[in-house]
């Protein structure tokens, strides 16, 4: 196995490239109330917030941080990390779930 093959193997073993589950696509009206308030994924479950149109505020409760997500900037959800989202006007988004750390550059 040459160096390139080893790097590809490491990358495949380290990062999940395909989600095992995704939410439906939500907009500013259909986004469930439970996602707008503090909630968390289960232990061992990673998430990637994919904004398909416009913008969304992503708040991590612990450690405290806030960012604005858009189609170019997905949001990474760590397992069991409390967070919430808030639409910033009209938007469309979904959440993809992974069993290992996702490669958010590919997500």
* Residue 59 in tokens: 């708040």
pLDDT tens digits, one per residue of 68-90 = 999 999 999 999 999 999 999 99
Range of the domain at 39: 3-98
The phi, psi pair for 4, rounded to 5°, reads -65, -45
Whether the bond into 66 is cis, omega within 30 of 0:
no
Q: Is there a domain that residue 105 lies in?
A: no
In a domain, 103, yes or no: no
Structural domain tally of the chain? 1
pTM comes to 0.81
Q: What is the pLDDT of residues 13-41, one digit of tens each?
A: 445 679 999 999 999 999 999 999 999 99
């Amino acid at each position: 196995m040459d160096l390139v093959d080893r790097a590809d193997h490491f990358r495949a073993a380290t990062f999940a490239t395909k989600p095992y589950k995704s939410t439906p696509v939500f907009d500013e009206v259909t986004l469930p109330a439970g996602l707008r308030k503090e909630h968390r994924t289960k232990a061992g479950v990673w998430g990637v917030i994919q904004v398909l149109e416009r913008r969304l505020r992503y708040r991590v409760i612990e450690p405290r941080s806030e960012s604005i997500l858009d189609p170019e900037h997905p949001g990474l959800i760590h397992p069991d990390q409390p967070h919430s989202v808030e639409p910033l006007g009209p938007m469309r988004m979904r959440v993809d779930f992974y069993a290992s750390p996702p490669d958010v550059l590919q997500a």
